[in-house]
Amino acid sequence: MAEEHNQADVLSKNRFSRAMSFATVAGPVFSFILGIGSIAAAIWLALIGQTGTSIAAIIGGFAPIIIASISNLKSK
């Protein structure tokens, strides 16, 4: 019974380790994709004459990149 408990504990730790490594990589990647998409939308909005909305989209586009950078600095 102790061996089964030990084996389950090792398996749980391995899963947690993989999940944390995925989250470490996925967070900045997804925030970068969201940021680039927002900036592209801002450019498109500026081209069709929606300047106020374009400025809001640019601010919203840079926010996830800045947040990911700040949280990445805190984790180091």
Q: What percent of the chain has pLDDT over 90?
A: 3
Classified as helix, coil or strand, 48 is coil
- SS3 at position 27: helix
Q: What percent of the chain has pLDDT over 70?
A: 91
| Of 8 and 37, the one with more pLDDT | 37
Tell me: the pLDDT tens digits for 24-56? 788 778 877 887 888 888 889 889 988 888 888
pLDDT for 2:
67
Give this prediction's pTM: 0.57
For residue 48, the model assigns a pLDDT of 92
CA 47 to chain centre: 28
Q: Which amino acid is at 28?
A: P
